[in-house]
Copies of this chain bind each other. A is one copy, B any other.
Amino acid sequence: MLKEFELASYLRVYQEIVDRELERAVLADPDPGPLYSSMRYSLLAGGKRLRPILCLTVCAAIGGSAEVAMPTAVALEMLHTATLIHDDLPSMDNDDFRRGRPTNHKVFGEGIALLAGDALLAYSLEHVLHNTDAPPDRLLRVIQTLLHAIGVNGAIGGQVADVGLENRPDAELAELESMCARKTGALLVASVVSGAVLAGADEGTIARVSLYGEKIGLAFQIIDDVLDVTSTLDELGKTPHKDEKMRKSTFARLLGLDQARERAADLIESAKREVRSLGEGAVPLFAIADYVGSRSK
C-alpha cells in the first residue's frame, strides 16, 4: 500500500513539472491569435502526462539528467496532443469530449483545430532541439524515433487501421494487436527509447526498454477497451461505449472482459521483467507498469 502511495506522489510531482514546462513552452511563443489559444486549450487540459513521465523516468534510470530529457519529454506530450486533436475531428472519430472538456474543434472550429494539430506536430519536433546540450547524433536519433512513432508505421497509420476496423466486429486478434502497436504503442515506445537514447544507453538497454514500452502500450489499449465498456462519461472524461456503437473489434469483444484483463496483467508482468536489469532505477518503471495495468480512467 505504501508503494502505491509513493507512485501517486511520484506521478503528481512529475505531472506538475511537465505541466509547468508545457505552460512555459507555449507561453514563449509570440503569436496571440486563435491558433495559439487552440494549441494551449488542448495542451494544458491536464492529462496523465504518461509519455513525458516515461521519458524522464527511463532517462533517470539509466543515469541521465532531467535537463537533458525535458525538452523531448515536453515534445512527446505535444505530439500526443496533436494526434488527439486530429483523431477527435468530425471526419475521424467525431468525438465531443476529451479529458472531461469539449474537444478542440467544438470550441475553436474544425479549421483551427486542424491547424492547431499541425502546428503542435511541427512545434513538438522543434522543441526537442530547444535549450539542449545533448549531442547532435543523439538528438537526430530522438527526432527519427519520434517521427517514426507518428508516421505511417506509427500513430497515423494506426489511426487508419483503427478506422478500417469499424463495422468489422469479427476482425482477427493479430490485426487488432498490429493496429494498437502503431496507434498507441509506437509513441509509448518512442517515449522510453528517447529517454534511453538521451541518457546515452547502449543498444541492448534501448532494445529492452523498447520491449517494455511495447508491452505496457498493448496493456494500455486493452484496458482502454475494457474501460470503454465499463465506464461512464464522468469516470472516463471522454465519451464511453464508442466501440460498441461503431461495431468495432476490441480486445473486450474478442477476448471477453475477464480474459482481456488477464492478458493485460500478463503483459504488465512481462514488461517489468524486461527492465529488471536496470536495478534500482527500474522501481518507478515497475510502478508505472502496474499503474497502467490497473488504471480506471
Contacts and interface: CB of A to CB of B under 8 A. Distances in A.
Contacts of A137: 136
Interface stretch (A56-64, A146-154, A200-208, A216-224): A146-154
A109 B112 CA distance: 19
A287 interface: no
Contacts of A33: 157, 160-161, 164
A89 B114 contact: yes
A69 to B, nearest CB: 18
Contacts of A121: 118, 121-122
B31 A153 contact: yes
A125 B75 CA distance: 15
A91 interface: yes
Given A144-B126, A152-B35, A114 B91 contact: yes
A290 interface: no
A143 interface: yes
A136 B140 CA distance: 7
A157 B125 contact: no
B122 A143 contact: no
Interface of A: 29, 31, 33-36, 86, 89, 91-92, 109-112, 114-115, 117-119, 121-123, 125-126, 129, 136-137, 139-140, 143-144, 147-148, 150-154, 156-157, 159-161, 163-164
Contacts of A114: 86, 89, 91-92, 114
Contacts of A119: 151-152, 156-157
Main secondary structure on chain A at its contact with chain B?
helix
A111 B87 CA distance: 9
Nearest to A94: B111
Nearest to A121: B121
12 contacts: A33-B160, A35-B160, A91-B109, A92-B114, A117-B118, A118-B156, A119-B151, A122-B147, A122-B151, A123-B151, A125-B143, A126-B151
A89 B20 CA distance: 35
A296 B91 CA distance: 35
A245 B120 CA distance: 31
Contact of A152 (B36, B86, B148): B36
Contacts of A151: 119, 122-123, 126
Nearest to A115: B156
B148 A111 contact: no
B156 A112 contact: no
B122 A144 contact: no
B122 A157 contact: no
Contact of A91 (B111, B143, B152): B111
A221 B157 CA distance: 34
A176 to B, nearest CB: 16
Nearest to A110: B91
